[in-house]
Each structure stands twice: as structure tokens, then as C-alpha cells.
Amino acid sequence: MQQTPATPTHCPYCALQCGMNLTPVPEGGVAVAERPDFPVNRGALCGKGRTAPAVLSDRVRLTSPLVRKDGVLTPAGWDEALDRIAEGLARTRADHGPDAVGIFGGGGLTNEKAYALGKFARVVLGTSQIDYNGRFCMSSAAAAGGRAFGLDRGLPFPLEDIPKTGCVILVGSNLAETMPPALRYLTELKENGGRLIVVDPRRTRTAEQADLHLAPRPGTDLALALGLLHLVVAEGRTDEAYIRERTSGWEETRAAAMAHWPEYVERITGVSVPELREAVRLFCEPEHAMVLTARGPEQQAKGTDTVGAWINLCLATGRAGRPLSGYGCLTGQGNGQGGREHGQKADQLPGYRKLTDPEARRHVAGVWGVDPDSLPGPGRSAYELLDALGGDVRALLLMGSNPVVSAPRAAHIEERIRSLDFLAVCDVVLSETAALADVVLPVTQWAEETGTTTNLEGRVLLRRRAITPPEGVRTDLYVLHELAARLGVEKGFPTDAEEVFEELRRASAGGIADYSGITYRRLAEEDGVFWPCPAPAGRNTPPAHPGTPRLFLDRFATEDGRARFAPVSHRPIAEEPDDEYPVLLTTGRVVAQYQSGAQTRRVDELNAAAPGPFVELHPRLAERLGAAEGDPVAVVSRRGRAVAPARITTAIRPDTVFMPFHWPGEGRANTLTNPALDPTSRMPEFKACAVRVERLEAVRG
């Protein structure tokens, strides 16, 4: 029998975008094999990536459009389903104006899809009401990075630099569970004599690897970083020449830090003064050091300032824009980085351009062949958009998110979604949100389509089609093409991903995230290309731009080339515990489930490993409640009540409980969470709210 050659591609899930080889199997679907030559993961895969083919099975996926008839979702043909959507969107627009039609996208969508979705909103619908789930993810780091450096890219250096630095402070990342193959970089760091500090209210699998684990009270990272900066100044560890030559705004920031005495910071965070001093010593002694943040410090109503405070620490010690030193954010979703660059965000045009910038509007409108004045202005952020459903926004097209499970204050958002005049969802499975739709369109999955993603390093990658999708399933690009045509726009929405990418190149040219020098051909030959990668000027094929693995080595991307300090001060979380709600709830992930679980809850092996929600609590708290391991406990916040079995562990602070957010129904963590938003990034406070915990018998009396 002839061997089918394997197709090298990338995982459908997280931002590491591990390389893998796919081979079609006779019974349908693909087999996943190692791809040791791809540098990011060198063959290693986590259980989610390994089992991703299970979601290709007809047993769990959608294979026909569904249209609601007499209240029931019923299989229908593609034309009927597309007609219904076009009608639903057009009627709403006619009755209530273009801004009554909303679009909600996702950071898992490829660059091509995200680009086409943003263009569809502005050109076909003329609506300003588009945003995406990246607001729930790393928007605070993006805002802080943009403010400090003039450019936001997850990591400003490749992962391979991490083992060569002297110290890493990992703030609110549980890498060992959320990007398991990346743990290797931290292990190698330690093997090389480097130090690891982990900041997490829980002693996670990642924290267990640390030389020093700081366990602050949730929502107090801002104070913690200021306390460290205070000590840096007090101990004379600032890099004065660097501050003078490469930064601006130090005096104000220095003054703010000096107001945060270590004893004061200890009272706020629960991290002791000796621990603070030890952290400063480990961070400052080596020649190079890095700070990496993830959702812990970012998913806070002050996430932008919090990340700003960690960046301040890097700047004051001369640890940014130098080899083997810097600040980076570990982005989350498969295309968390690219998804935030090409226009599905409320205030954004492709190439990381601003929708309010007249020059950006002129450039992109030129590529799109429309009048710049016809482009709407910025719309609402994700939570605000979801909150407006059924009010100002009456019809919604949703692609690549499952907000019934993943949005904060989810019961309220579910009710808003139910109150829509019209909802259309494109998905690969019947998610909890798709189940509420008027029309559901079944779309192709990673192994069945081509497209690009940009991983956490800013490395643009080519995902290749390895198998033919089932009859009855179409691509997201096909959906947008067909809807555009039905709404009167015949051109400009190709179904071929490479054609979309060619247009994206031109639209991004000259922007911050410049992809114009990147082609599918290059991506097929190289291990990805780091943006910015401008197209070479001139016509006689001059040498291609190599891409930019390392940013800021000569200058920052601000107007004066200097990084900007952020003069920030401690402030409390939006909802402090009180007598009625005395405990803090924080939320996050487990290794075997992904996000809202829409995909991974359909994989037997993963369900066996992580079958359902739980409430992690300290023995002291459990004792007070009279709860034993496995007992159902109720967690109650001002927004609702969730029930899940108790998991008792000393790995969490006694004043805090933790719930993963991967499940719907009774154990849905987001029934409880607080949608208080960061004023700049509009990121909700997923990581801290006030709750009361009750043993279930006590509740039911």
C-alpha cells in the first residue's frame, strides 16, 4: 500500500501552536504524529492536541446546517440556512439601523477569518458593533504593552531565549497545565542555573517548579509589583543609565512606588517582606531577567495598570529591549495574537491600526475599495456588546466563541442572548450558545482547511488542510462570501484563504503588525515568520525581510523611541469580600479541558481525565463549612449560585476558592464572576470576586 505523506501543520487549540504531522486514516479523520523539527514544541504535544482528531468525528460534530422551525433546530440545506441569516440580518438593519446588527468573533479564528469578519462588519453590514472574546483574554496586556512600548506583541522574543536568561518572574500563568510543552523552557532555565519565581495564589503544578513561589491574595499583583519596585529603588538596584537613555516618565513612577512600603504591600498582598526582598534579589542579581504575565494579573478590573506595574519593574532595572531580557505576555488562544491584529476588535483596522486614525481609515478603505467615510467608528467591547443584546443590538452573528459558558455573569448574558430577535452561530459543534440560535452553520476544522495563525511569539504559521471535510460542512470564509453576496456585496470576500491573505498583506502594509513581506510560500518553507515583516521596497525582488524575532533592541516603537513608565497606584478589587460574601473566588483552567469545553468535553479521553467542575478550597475553610472531600458545595455571589464537589487542598490560600470555568449548567463558574471592566482594556474581572461558600445540605435545609 502506498504511504500517504504526512501534512505538517499546527494544533487547533492554544497559542503555543505546537507543530504536528497529520495523516489521513482509512476510517476517516486523521492520525496525529510528532513533528520534531518544529522548534516551538520539538515534537511534544499535550493531551488536547493529541486527541484533537476525536472532534472530527461525525459522532460529536455538526454535519448539516440547522434552522429553527416551530421552536426546534432542524437540519436544513445550505441555501435555506444562508437565506435565513441574510434575511434576519437585513431585516434588523432595515428596522433598527446598521448598529442593531452585532458580530462576535474569536481568538481561535485564523488571521484570514478574523480579517474577513472585520471587513464583513464594516463593509457589508456597516455596523460598528463588532468585538471578540480576546477582550476576555489578553486585552489588558495588549493595552499595557502598547502604552509602554508603542507596540503590542505577546512575547518580544522567541521562547528559545527563556532558558538563556538569568531569572524569570512568571505572574499568574499555570503553564504546566495551560501550555505543557512550554514547561521545558523553564526546566532548561533552571538546568542552566537560572531562577524561576512564580506568582500565583495557588501552589500550582507550575508553582511547584519555582525557586520562589509568591502567593498573593487574588487581585493584588499591582501592589506586589509596586512593592518590588520600591525595594529596587531603596536597595539602589535601578539602572540609571538605561532609565535616562531609553525611558520616559520615571520620576512620577518612582514617586508612586516610594509610597508603597514593603510592610504596606505585605498587608495588602499577604506576601511577606522577606519574600519580597528575596524576589528582588533573585530578579536583580543576574545580568538578564524577564517578566512574563498571563491571565492571573491581566483578568482584573485594573489589569492594564497591573501589567504596567510589572513592566515598570523591567524598565527600572534595565530589563526590556535588551538581549535575553524583557517583558512578555503569554497569549492564550490558537490565534490570540493574530486575532487581535486584523480588525475583529471594536476599535481596530487590519495591521493593528486604529479605527479612529484618519490615515489608517484611508489606507484600509483604499484596499477595500470603499469611501473612508463609509467605515463606522469604534463599537462596544465584548462584555458591553453582549450586555446590549436584545436592547440596542437585536441580531447577532457569532463565530468562534461560546459566551453562554465563558462570559462573565453568564446567566445574565445567556438571558440577553435569548432575548435577541435573531441569532446565527457558525461552529464545529452544537455549543451551548449554538443551541440557542435561530440558524447554526457547521464549519470545517483545523485539519480540513488552510489558514494562518500567529502564535504567542508573534510567529506567523501556516496551518494546512490534511483531509477533505465531510459533505455538508463549509468553511467560515465560504459563509462570509455567501452572506456578503446575499446582502449585495458580490466581490471582496474570496473563499480561498491564500487570496484573503494576499489582501491582508496589503491592508497590513505599513501598519504596526505588518505582514506584507509574508507569503504562503515562505510559510511553507520556514518555521514561521515573525512580524513585523514588511515587503521589500522596489520591484526587482530584493532580498526578503527576515522577519523580526526580537523587538526593541535598538529602540522602542514609541514616537521618541523611549519606553514609557506607567505611574500607577494600588487600588482594591472591584468587589471586596464583606460579611455576607467573605471569601474570594478566582477562576482558571485544568490541563485536560479547553475553554468553554465545547470541543474538549466531546473527547472521551479528556473527559475521563477531567470529568467535571470542582471547587478548590483550603482545609481550614472546609473545616469551617464542615465539608469533606467530594461533598457538593454551593458557591454564591451577588450574581448567582453554582454547585460543584469540594476539592480540599493546602495548595490554595485559606481566604480564596478556585473554580475552573470549562463547564455549563450547575457548576458553571461564570454564573458567579463579576463583569467589572478595566477602564482601558474593557477586560472583565474573572480573577477575583466576593463569594460565600456553603455546604449543600445546609442550603437545602
Q: Which residues make up the interface to ligand MGD (CB under 6 A)?
A: 14, 106-109, 133, 136-137, 171-175, 177-179, 199-202, 204, 218-219, 221, 294-297, 299, 332-333, 399-403, 405-406, 426-429, 431, 443, 476, 586-589, 591, 593-596, 598-599, 658, 661, 669-670, 673, 686-688
CA angle 97, 422, 58 (to 5 degrees): 140
- How many whole angstroms separate alpha carbon 286 and alpha carbon 137? 32
Residue 683 in contact with residue 294, Cβ under 8 Å? Answer: no
- How many whole angstroms separate alpha carbon 595 and alpha carbon 597? 5
Under the binding rule (CB under 6 A), the answer on residue 179 touching ligand SF4 is yes
Residue closest to 162 by CA, chosen among 281, 326, 42, 307: 326
The entry of ligand MGD, ligand SF4, Mo ion, none that residue 49 binds, CB within 5 to 8 Å by partner kind: ligand SF4
* Pick 454 or 670: Cβ nearer ligand MGD: 670
- Among the listed residues 8, 29, 180, 201, the single contact to ligand SF4 using CB under 6 A: 180
Question: Residue 495, by phi and psi: left (phi above 0), alpha (psi -120 to 50) or beta?
Answer: alpha
* Least distance to ligand SF4, CB of residue 46, Å: 3
Residue closest to 374 by CA, chosen among 393, 360, 392, 361: 361
| The three grid cell numbers given for residue 297, joined into one nine-digit string | 494579573
The entry of ligand MGD, ligand SF4, Mo ion, none that residue 653 binds, CB within 5 to 8 Å by partner kind: none
* Pick 16 or 170: Cβ nearer ligand SF4: 16
- Return the range that interacts with ligand SF4 (CB under 6 A); candidates 10-18, 191-199, 220-228, 489-497: 10-18
What are residue 383's phi and psi, to 5 degrees?
-65, -40
* Pick 381 or 406: Cβ nearer ligand MGD: 406
Under the binding rule (CB under 5 A), the answer on residue 332 touching Mo ion is yes
Helix axes 303-316, 250-258, angle to 10 degrees: 110
Under the binding rule (CB under 6 A), the answer on residue 296 touching ligand SF4 is no
* Least distance to ligand SF4, CB of residue 182, Å: 7
- Among the listed residues 48, 481, 545, 662, the single contact to ligand SF4 using CB under 6 A: 48
What are residue 286's phi and psi, to 5 degrees?
-70, 165
Q: How many residues bind Mo ion (CB under 5 A)?
A: 2
- The CA distances from residue 506 to 350, 499, 513, 597, 653, in Å, are 9, 11, 12, 36, 51
- Among the listed residues 9, 21, 38, 45, the single contact to ligand SF4 using CB under 6 A: 45
Under the binding rule (CB under 6 A), the answer on residue 338 touching ligand SF4 is no
* Least distance to ligand SF4, CB of residue 178, Å: 8
The entry of Mo ion, ligand MGD, ligand SF4, none that residue 661 binds, CB within 5 to 8 Å by partner kind: ligand MGD
Under the binding rule (CB under 5 A), the answer on residue 588 touching Mo ion is no
Question: Nearest residue to Mo ion, using CB?
Answer: 332
- Among the listed residues 181, 216, 534, 613, the single contact to ligand SF4 using CB under 6 A: 181
* Pick 73 or 176: Cβ nearer ligand SF4: 176
Site string for ligand SF4, 447-486 (x = CB under 6 A): ----------------------------------------
- Among the listed residues 8, 49, 494, 547, the single contact to ligand SF4 using CB under 6 A: 49
* Pick 298 or 514: Cβ nearer Mo ion: 298
Residue 108 in contact with residue 333, Cβ under 8 Å? Answer: yes
| The three grid cell numbers given for residue 51, joined into one nine-digit string | 486527541
Ordered DSSP codes for 506-573: HHHTTSSS--TT--HHHHHHSS-EESP-PPPSSSS-PPPP---SS-SSS--SSTTS-EE---------
| The three grid cell numbers given for residue 540, joined into one nine-digit string | 526587482
- Return the range that interacts with ligand SF4 (CB under 6 A); candidates 8-16, 149-157, 237-245, 547-555: 8-16
- How many whole angstroms separate alpha carbon 291 and alpha carbon 311? 8
Q: Is 675 helix (H, G, I), strand (E, B) or coil?
A: strand
- Among the listed residues 9, 16, 64, 132, the single contact to ligand SF4 using CB under 6 A: 16
- The CA distances from residue 419 to 125, 291, 386, in Å, are 21, 44, 11
The entry of Mo ion, ligand SF4, ligand MGD, none that residue 11 binds, CB within 5 to 8 Å by partner kind: ligand SF4
How many beta carbons lie within 10 A of that of residue 187, not counting itself? 12
- Over its C-alpha atoms, the chain yields an Rg (Å, rounded) of 24
How many beta carbons lie within 10 A of that of residue 384, not counting itself? 17
* Least distance to ligand MGD, CB of residue 218, Å: 4
Under the binding rule (CB under 5 A), the answer on residue 598 touching Mo ion is no
What are residue 75's phi and psi, to 5 degrees?
-55, 140
* Least distance to ligand SF4, CB of residue 47, Å: 7
The alpha carbon dihedral of 600, 605, 610, 611 has a sign of positive
Under the binding rule (CB under 5 A), the answer on residue 137 touching Mo ion is yes
- How many whole angstroms separate alpha carbon 620 and alpha carbon 552? 48
Helix axes 262-269, 273-284, angle to 10 degrees: 110
* Least distance to ligand MGD, CB of residue 245, Å: 31
Under the binding rule (CB under 6 A), the answer on residue 17 touching ligand SF4 is yes
* Pick 102 or 336: Cβ nearer ligand SF4: 336
* Pick 443 or 627: Cβ nearer ligand MGD: 443
Sheet holding 212-214, edge to edge: 212-214, 195-199, 167-171, 290-293, 326-329
In the chain, the amino acid numbered 301 is A
Under the binding rule (CB under 5 A), the answer on residue 328 touching Mo ion is no
Determine if the peptide bond prior to 532 is cis (ω within 30°).
Answer: yes
* Least distance to ligand SF4, CB of residue 465, Å: 18
Under the binding rule (CB under 6 A), the answer on residue 11 touching ligand SF4 is yes
- Among the listed residues 18, 22, 170, 633, the single contact to ligand SF4 using CB under 6 A: 18
Task: Go through the chain and tell me how many residues it has.
Answer: 701
The entry of ligand MGD, Mo ion, ligand SF4, none that residue 180 binds, CB within 5 to 8 Å by partner kind: ligand SF4
Site string for ligand SF4, 300-329 (x = CB under 6 A): ------------------------------
Under the binding rule (CB under 6 A), the answer on residue 46 touching ligand SF4 is yes
* Pick 304 or 453: Cβ nearer ligand SF4: 453
Interacting residues toward Mo ion by CB under 5 A: 137, 332
Interacting residues toward ligand SF4 by CB under 6 A: 11, 13-14, 16-18, 41, 45-46, 48-49, 179-181
